[in-house]
Amino acid sequence: MSLFNRLLIIATILGMLLPGPGIALAGFALVPLSLSMFFSLIASKQKVGLKLTGIKNGLIYSYLFLTGSLLLASLFVPPELREGLIMYAIFPPAIGVLVVGRHWGGNTSEVFVFQLLAYALSVILVPVAALLLLGGEVDATTILIQLALAFILPGAFSFFVEVKNKDRAADVSGVFLAALFYIMIAKSQPWILGNWAELAIYIVPLTALNVVIGYIAYRLSKDPDATLYALLKNGGAAAAVSIGIFPPAAIAMLSAKTLMDVGLILGFGRLWDKKKA
C-alpha cells in the first residue's frame, strides 16, 4: 500500500475519532489544498506542448463519460447528498492521474498539458456549472475566488520551482492532501455517524457505476491515462471549496467518494500490473 493510501486511512480514522481540530480548521481548508496542488505540480512537471490525443482522451473520458454518468446518477440521489455528488462531477480530473498514471505506464506529458488546461478553465467552468445545476444554492463568485486561490496561484508558482526528487515532492503533496481529507471527514463526522446507512445505500452503487465506467474506458482505450480519467475527479478540491457553502451531508458524500476512489486505484492498478507481467 502506498504512503498516500496509508495517510488517507489514518486521516479517516482521526477524522472519525478526533474531529475537533478538523472542525476548527475547516475555514482554512484551502491552505492544505493549495499546498498539495503546488507540490503535486512540481512533482509531475513536464515539457509543455500541444498534445491533441491527451486533450481528446481527457474530454471524452473525464467529462463525457465520468461527469456525464455522475450527473445522470445525481438525479436519483437525495438533495442533501446530490450537492456533493454534483460538485465532485463538475471538477477537473484528480491531480493523482499524473502520479498514478506514471506508475501505470501512461503518457505523463500528454496528461500534464490537459491538466493545465482543465484546471485553468475550471476557474470559470466550475462556478458556471454549479450555478446552472444547483441554482441559488451556490455563490458562484465565492467558488471562483476559491478556485483561483487553490489552482491558479499554486500553478503559477510551480513554474518557477524545479526539484530533483519528484517522488519526495509527490509524498509531501500526499501529506497535505491527507490533511485536507482529515478536515473533510471531521467536518462531516456528526452527519456520518447519524446517517451512515443512508450514505452507504448511495455510495455503493455509485462506486459500482464508477467501476463500470472505468472498465469501459479500459476496454475501449487500453490506455492507463484514459482509464484514470474515467475513474477520478478532484474530490479533495471539490470538498475544500464546498465546506463553507454546503451542509455536512454534501461534504460526507465528497469524503466517501474520495475514499472509494482509493479502492478504485488499487483495483484497476492490478489490470496494469498484469499487462506488465
Name the residue among 170, 174, 172, 180 with its Cα closest to residue 14. 180
pLDDT in tens, 8-43: 788 889 999 999 999 999 889 889 989 988 888 888
Residue for grid cell 502506498:
2
DSSP character at residue 58: I
Instruction: Read off the pLDDT of each residue in 105-119 and give the average, rounded to a whole number.
Output: 83
Name the residue among 44, 134, 132 with its Cα closest to residue 94. 44
| Structure confidence at residue 91 (pLDDT) | 94
For residue 252, what is its C-alpha cell?
Answer: 460526507
Instruction: Read off the pLDDT of each residue in 45-55 and give the average, rounded to a whole number.
Output: 68
**pTM as predicted:** 0.88
Instruction: Read off the pLDDT of each residue in 248-261 and give the average, rounded to a whole number.
Output: 88
193 Cβ contact partners less than 8 Å away, ≥ 6 residues apart: 16
% of the chain beyond a pLDDT of 90? 35
| Structure confidence at residue 215 (pLDDT) | 94
Rounded distance between C-alpha atoms, residue 170 and residue 92, angstroms? 19
Instruction: Read off the pLDDT of each residue in 62-86 and give the average, rounded to a whole number.
Output: 94
Q: Are 191 and 72 in contact (CB under 8 A)?
A: no
| Structure confidence at residue 40 (pLDDT) | 82
DSSP character at residue 26: G
| Structure confidence at residue 31 (pLDDT) | 92
Lowest mean pLDDT among 39-43, 61-65, 187-191, 236-240: 39-43
Whether 237 shows a pLDDT value over 60: the answer reads yes
Name the residue among 136, 96, 88, 95 with its Cα closest to residue 116. 95
pLDDT in tens, 89-98: 999 998 778 7
Rounded distance between C-alpha atoms, residue 110 and residue 79, angstroms? 37
Rounded distance between C-alpha atoms, residue 106 and residue 38, angstroms? 21
Residue 47: band (very low, low, confident or very high) from pLDDT cuts 50, 70, 90: low
Q: Are 51 and 113 in contact (CB under 8 A)?
A: yes
Q: What are phi and psi of 19, to 5 degrees?
A: -80, -20
For residue 66, what is its C-alpha cell?
Answer: 465520468
Name the residue among 4, 10, 5, 15 with its Cα closest to residue 239. 15
Whether 254 shows a pLDDT value over 70: the answer reads yes
Provide the sign of the torsion angle of the four alpha carbons 123, 129, 131, 137, taken in this order. negative
Cα-based distances in Å from 264 to 29, 56, 150: 25, 23, 25
End-to-end CA distance of the chain: 19
| Structure confidence at residue 242 (pLDDT) | 87
Q: Which domains does the chain have, with CATH numbers?
A: 3-276 (1.20.1530.20)
